[in-house]
Amino acid sequence: VQLQASGGGSVQAGGSLRLSCAASGGTISRYSMAWFRQAPGKEREFVAAISWSSGTTRYSDSVKGRFTISRDDAKTTVYLQMNSLKPEDAAVYYCAADPARDLNVLVFRPVAIDYWGKGTQVTVSS
């Protein structure tokens, strides 16, 4: 499975963006999907995840209530709707896919995730 993230850009604080992660080379219907981000000089951090078995979602505390992850298996695409963006949300955002049903695997063991896409840059100006 190949993953390609898109939808990044520059917005002012308080604005919105919707990121997309398109999969090719296979279906994502049996993959839990996640978004991570990495800001300059910082470690990669978990943002959001959605399971393939139950559609359960998980968010980091820093984005909860502002970001929404969703999936369209028919389009083999996962989305990250980002509202009320803050300057601290600026980063390169990456999508990831793993067959694990348990989202703890994606959240706490990202090194074990099977597939990663190239990132898309999000810039938020104050």
- Among candidate residues 93, 91, 94, 95, the one with its CA nearest the CA of residue 124: 91
Q: Are 126 and 87 in contact (CB under 8 A)?
A: yes
Q: How far is CA 69 from CA 42, 63, 125, in A?
A: 23, 11, 23
Q: Which two tokens stand for residue 8?
A: 């990044």
Q: For residue 26, what pLDDT is reported? A: 87
| Listed residue (96, 90, 113) closest to 38, CA to CA | 90
Which pLDDT score is estimated for 118? 94
Q: What confidence tens digit (pLDDT) does each residue in 46-97 have?
A: 999 999 988 899 999 999 999 999 999 999 999 999 999 999 999 999 999 9
